[in-house]
Structure 1
Amino acid sequence: MPDRPRHLAPTEPPFIETRTVHDRVANDAARGRKHLTRDEVHRLMRGAIRHNRHGRRDALMLCLAFEHGLRVSELVGLRWSAVDLMTHELRVTRAKGSLDGTHPLQGDTVRALKRYQRESGRATGLVFVNERGAPVSADGFRRLLHRLSERVLGLKWHPHALRHACGVHLINQGVDLRTVQLYLGHANIQSTVAYTALTGRQFERLSF
């Protein structure tokens, strides 16, 4: 029987994406929340250095995703041209119609970036690459975080939990909503307001 013409071949349903969304919902329900805490992020960073083959790179990826509220696409697409190690600034190019911005880099993060730059021998192109110089993919980072979080925290976490962690942490520190909106690049402040429901800080001054 002749091969079925390519244009008549049945299309496959998007099993991977469906499974990914299903897993995220199931894991969110198991955890009872959608964001990592600052302590959990730091535990993951220590676990990456201890267990992963490219531990310092992976810990740095976790650090930048948390400290700058990066989506996974923004993280893996980060280029050295956006990192200013002299002025300690990071130029963030946002995805999904969000607003770009320039963030200050923390001292420990600057030192980690400098060390990683020396060890990788790269100061141009993409920041995060593998030993062959190929980019770390979004799916690759997702798998990395799934494995690491299950090993260190006992549950699989999705990369977007790092962005949520940033927003919740800033609000817990008392940063005003307008500043958090600008920092995360939200075009609509309602996206930022949603984080207040995750913290409970809006109720702290209530008394009965």
Structure 2
Amino acid sequence: MLQTSVTNFKRGKNSQYRSREYLTADEMQRLMDAAENRGRHPIRDLTLLLLMYRHGLRASEAASLRWDAVLMDDGLLNIKRLKGSKSGVHPLKADELAVLASLKVVAPGQYLFPSERGTHITSYGIARLVKRCGELADLPFKVHPHMLRHACGYHLANQGFDTRLIQEWMGHRDIKNTERYTALNVERFKEIQW
């Protein structure tokens, strides 16, 4: 008699099942353009994707952002990291402040990204939004929220930022989590002069 056990099955890493784990800057722009031109909440959706990308936010971190974390006059965002990561304060760029000001008009409640039920958007809601925007942007692969976090790390590495600075920005406690962004950055070597 042949016996198989489901408990013996070990699923591989997500990266084994996906063609890529990050988005390029161009793909991010296409994703944000799709968010701005879809659905009932274009300002909310655009702001959500922009902040997730620029600040390396996880879906759960973005979902729970409250207006008291945004210091508009100082141009700062207090980020409460989850999963044992280090929280921090990030500066906001002028375009981020502009979309946040527009968002505040349509979402004046407690949360930056409200749901239609009066609470905040959920991680699952963000996953659906990101997936749909990826389809509308005609990206040739499935897009998931954590790709925006990775896009942030790779973007910073491509800009030549130091690994320790990227670690601090992303809230990583262990630099090994940050090294993935600099290890694959072949573009940096094109600038070497001999």
Matches within 5 A, 1:1-208: 25-26=16-17, 28-29=18-19, 33-122=20-109, 125-152=110-137, 153-201=139-187, 203-204=189-190
Shift of the 171–178 alpha-carbon distance from structure 1 to 2, 3 Å rule, reads same
SS of match in other structure, 2:37: helix
SS of 2:90's equivalent? strand
Per the alignment, do residues 118 and 205 of structure 1 end up closer, same or farther by CA in structure 2, a change over 3 Å counting? closer
- Structure 2-normalised TM-score? 0.86
Q: Which consecutive residues of structure 2, in runs of 5 or more, have no partner in the other structure?
A: 1-5
Q: 1:114 to 1:203 in 2, by over 3 A?
A: same
In structure 2, relative to structure 1, the CA distance for the partners of 1:25 and 1:159 (3 Å cut) is farther
Q: What is the RMSD computed on CA atoms of the aligned residues?
A: 2.0
Larger Rg: 1
TM-score by length of 1: 0.81
Q: Distance in 1 between matches of 2:156 and 2:36?
A: 26
| Structure 2: distance between partners of 1:83 and 1:89 | 6
- For 1:8, the equivalent position in structure 2 comes to none
What is the number of equivalent residue pairs in this alignment? 183
Q: 2 CA distance for matches of 1:111 and 1:49?
A: 14
Distance in 1 (CA, whole Å) between partners of 2:91 and 2:193 is 37
- 1:99: Cα distance to partner? 0.6
| Cα distance in 1 for residues equivalent to 2:100 and 2:27 | 21
- Please say if residues 196 and 202 of structure 1, whose CA atoms lie closer than 8 Å, have aligned partners that are also in contact: no
User: In 1, distance between residues paired with 2:44 and 2:16?
Assistant: 28
Query: How far apart in 1 are the matches of 2:172 and 2:178?
Result: 7
- Conserved 8 A contact 2:43-2:102: no
Q: Once the 2 structures are TM-superposed, how far is the Cα of residue 202 of structure 1 from its aligned partner?
A: 5.3
Q: CA deviation at 1:206?
A: 6.0
Q: Which runs of 5+ in 1 are unaligned?
A: 1-12
The percent identity for this pair of structures is 40
SS of match in other structure, 1:129: coil
Deviation at 1:25, TM superposition (A): 4.3
C-alpha distance in structure 1 between counterparts of 2:117 and 2:87, whole Å: 30
Query: Partners in 2 of 1:151 and 1:197 — Cα distance?
Result: 31
Alignment partners' CA distance in 1, 2:161 and 2:193: 22
Greater Cα offset, 192-201 or 81-90: 192-201
Deviation, 1:78, is: 0.7
Say if 1:128 and 1:136, in contact at 8 Å, map to a contact too: yes
Task: Give the counterpart letter for 2:60 in structure 1.
Answer: S
